A and B are shown apart, each in its own frame.
Chain A
Amino acid sequence: MENFVNVFLFGKCYSVPDNLTIMGAMEYAGYQLVRGCGCRNGFCGACATIYRVRGDRELRVCLACQTKVVNDMYIATLPFFPLIKQVYDIEKVPAGEAVMMQLYPEIYACVGCNACTKSCTQGLNVMQYIAYAQRGNFARCAEESFDCVMCGVCSSRCPAGISHPQVALLARRINGKYLAPKSEHLENRVREIRDGTFDDLLEALMQKPVDELRELYNNREIEA
């Protein structure tokens, strides 16, 4: 009981079941995808896609694996977009505002058009996180950008040539390494392990016969 719709893959018309995603529709039509297909689950950003539905002036963007086809959809995939990725040494990078000026100065040329936010396939407030990066507020930039899958659609729409996902990644790494609070319990445990604190305990476990381990396992206490 399938209903069919017409979709236009790179301008060519195919009739496909309406319950398919764009990615599924391409495969139904006979494409063997190599580029433009990664996790098929909305996490990797490989399948950035732009489309327009006939009669609608607006150019829309999506991830092909996460979006159902509709009738008269004109589809072009964007399997690669030339983002600028600056190279830096995370051990030496300054954790302040200056680093953005140094590595990604184009963010200060943002014209505030908000095209990035409007085009985000994850529904993130992209322009806002760029504003945080401009001000050196990396914690907020990290927070706002966290769900980014780096598909690059925002950058394809940006008149200022900003590579938003790379800016956000830099902010998150600086935040994760330098700004977020340290985990004392983690550092303590790593020290204990280096001192061999658990070696005897572990070795004793490894020597035990399976029946004894089974007993221990089946009767172990589980934290509430």
Chain B
Amino acid sequence: MYTGEMLASMKKVEAAREANTVLEPRRMTAEEKDALLETYHPDYKKSEFVALRVGVNRGDAVPHELAALLEGRSRVDPASVDLTRCDYETDVLVIGGGGAGSSAAIEADNAGMKTMIVTKLRIGDANTMMAEGGIQAADKPNDSPAIHYLDAFGGGHFAAKPELLYKLVNEAPDAILWLNELGVEFDKSPDGTMITTHGGGTSRKRMHAARDYTGAEIMRTLRDEVLNRGIPVIDFTAAIELILDTDGRCAGAVLYNMETGEIKIARAKCVILATGGAGRLHYQGFPTSNHYGATADGLILGYRAGAKLLYADTLQYHPTGAAYPEQIFGALVTEKVRSLGDKLVNAHGEVFMHPLETRDVTAASIIRECTDRGNGVKTADGTGVWLDTPMIERRGGEGTILSRIPAMHRMFAQYGIDIRVEPILVYPTLHYQNGGLDITPDGMTAVENLFAAGEVVGGIHGRNRLMGNSLLDVIVFGRNAGRHAAERAKSVTPGTPTLAHVTAFAREAEEAGVRAEVQSPKLLPTYSHGNPDFQRKAF
């Protein structure tokens, strides 16, 4: 139930709607953006980060929650694992069944290599499935990969690895065509022209979408294709350590059946980590838009095996997580809402910023509005500002919401809110891991024969990612890793398997005085929703 304060504020939003609809707010200057980020963006809060004491990134700052896992204890005792066993043998082992893992598996299969997917939950239980707004590609006549490059490079604070970003933008149109040829239904005009819109920080309208189920449409198609090809998918099976060979090359993984607790051994010539992000670590206490299994597992596995992290200190807080009702607190309200012309409005009915600044800037601006400026609306879980959704119908015509963002309509209708006539309350939610494992343009990490693709990778986007570049990244770099891993697997003969790196890492931790308090990878979060009697070990 709305509070009196919410209702009073909503009246002000309504009263200002007509004027706000036609308003063209100015964009911030570079200096204004820098100052705003510095003061209000969670990435800039130094006390929330700590220097790593173990591993190749020793001395680098990462969030406390991540450090605890990176420096955590293995879930296996290397001495008690029988590596002479072999429960699964394959050329290319893909760990993770989201968009990147599935794309990688399809390409490795295309290359004629024996490929297998293991995934902690089900294939498709991934952030790809939940990506709503769209996927970027510079395929319109007024656009080019070079313009896309500049948008992404600037939006990422000039920190992206140029050779990775080059690949992302230059292979984007081919990624869209590949998906379309697999049967993904993009929104098109009757003449076949892709219906494209802006995202925050884009200078051309290059956001392709499938209503606001873009990721779901891509994911279910990829999943169907994986199944059609007969690629084995071992679900409810997590990787809990990588296996190297005595030459330090990746050669498989120790698997854990999530339901029975059984340990299994998979041997492979090449391994692709495609385990996704970390929203379920709830950095700085933020809610998250991520799926249940987003617990940074790939970072832990890769790091322990010697892969390097890049920008692990930078996270993306999506500006518009649902702030009300509490049942969907933190759930994603797609940026497409703003792509369609909607604006952010404070408690007094004032438009306080241009709605399509980059995500980090927009999130920081909302946090400023709700804290120092005191212009937020109180909710059960904190504060929020309005996203004045009825504006969309005013700008785009009646019916726009049902045809372009039906999922958003459905999500709020579930709680009696009709976003066509009522605005909604939003606040930033933990959305994306900008950093991750460092890779070469071929998709390989610092560990030979260990590849990585998707959100687990860092460096493609720099220190902030634009909307629509992640769905793109999982396709482009998923396919890329699949192809190169398959190619490489053709000439690999793995040596004797070993978990010596796990033992060595634990020893290094001990010598550094680390008292590892938790086991990692985390695999799943544990929630108790405030139950005062709740006492149970984490999963």
Contact surface of A with B, Cβ cutoff 8 Å: 17, 19-21, 24, 27-30, 32-35, 37-44, 46, 66-68, 85, 87-90, 122-123, 142, 146-147, 149-150, 169, 172-177, 180-187, 189-190, 193, 198-199, 201-202, 205-206, 210, 213-214, 216-218, 220-223
Please, which residues of chain B bring their CB within 8 A of the CB of A176? 180, 182-186, 221
Among the listed stretches B10-18, B245-253, B437-445, B522-530, which one makes contact with chain A, having 4 or more residues with CB under 8 Å of it? B522-530
The answer, among A174, A213, A216, A221, for a CB contact under 8 Å with B183, is A174
Determine if A205 and B150 form an interchain contact, defined as CB atoms under 8 angstroms apart.
Answer: yes
Chain B proximity of A10: nearest CB distance (Å): 17
Determine if B150 and A217 form an interchain contact, defined as CB atoms under 8 angstroms apart.
Answer: yes
Contact surface of B with A, Cβ cutoff 8 Å: 29-30, 121-122, 124-125, 129-130, 137-142, 144-147, 149-151, 153-154, 158, 162-163, 166, 169-171, 173-174, 176-177, 180-186, 188, 190-194, 198, 203-205, 210-211, 213, 215-217, 220-221, 224-225, 227-228, 230, 236, 258-259, 289, 291-292, 326-328, 331-332, 406-407, 410-411, 414-415, 524, 526-531, 534, 536, 539
Please, which residues of chain B bring their CB within 8 A of the CB of A177? 180-183
Determine if B528 and A39 form an interchain contact, defined as CB atoms under 8 angstroms apart.
Answer: no
Determine if A27 and B528 form an interchain contact, defined as CB atoms under 8 angstroms apart.
Answer: yes
Please, which residues of chain A bring their CB within 8 A of the CB of B217? 146, 172
Determine if B410 and A172 form an interchain contact, defined as CB atoms under 8 angstroms apart.
Answer: no
Chain A proximity of B418: nearest CB distance (Å): 14
Please, which residues of chain B bring their CB within 8 A of the CB of A206? 149, 162-163, 166
The answer, among B124, B141, B328, B524, for a CB contact under 8 Å with A44, is B124
Please, which residues of chain B bring their CB within 8 A of the CB of A17? 529-530
Determine if A213 and B153 form an interchain contact, defined as CB atoms under 8 angstroms apart.
Answer: yes
Bound-complex Cα distance A142 to B251 (A): 43
Determine if A185 and B185 form an interchain contact, defined as CB atoms under 8 angstroms apart.
Answer: no
Query: Knowing A38-B125, A180-B188, A181-B191 touch, does A220 contact B182 (C-beta < 8 A)?
Result: no
Bound-complex Cα distance A192 to B405 (A): 33
Determine if B407 and A147 form an interchain contact, defined as CB atoms under 8 angstroms apart.
Answer: yes
Bound-complex Cα distance A9 to B392 (A): 41
Determine if B176 and A186 form an interchain contact, defined as CB atoms under 8 angstroms apart.
Answer: yes
Interface pairs A-B: 4 shortest CB-CB: A173-B183, A217-B154, A181-B192, A176-B185
Please, which residues of chain B bring their CB within 8 A of the CB of A181? 188, 190-192
Query: Knowing A20-B529, A174-B183, A190-B177 touch, does A42 contact B150 (C-beta < 8 A)?
Result: no
Determine if A214 and B154 form an interchain contact, defined as CB atoms under 8 angstroms apart.
Answer: yes
Chain B residue with Cβ nearest A165: B220
Bound-complex Cα distance A27 to B181 (A): 41
Determine if B259 and A35 form an interchain contact, defined as CB atoms under 8 angstroms apart.
Answer: yes
Can you list 9 A-B pairs, Cβ within 8 angstroms, ordered by A? Answer: A21-B327, A24-B527, A27-B527, A90-B228, A182-B192, A183-B192, A193-B171, A220-B150, A220-B154
Instruction: List 16 extra interface pairs beyond A42-B411, A173-B182, A177-B180, CB under 8 A.
Output: A17-B530, A21-B327, A29-B531, A35-B259, A38-B124, A42-B407, A46-B122, A89-B228, A183-B194, A185-B194, A193-B174, A202-B146, A205-B149, A205-B153, A218-B30, A221-B203
Determine if A186 and B194 form an interchain contact, defined as CB atoms under 8 angstroms apart.
Answer: yes
Please, which residues of chain B bring their CB within 8 A of the CB of A222? 203
Most buried by B among A39, A88, A189: A39
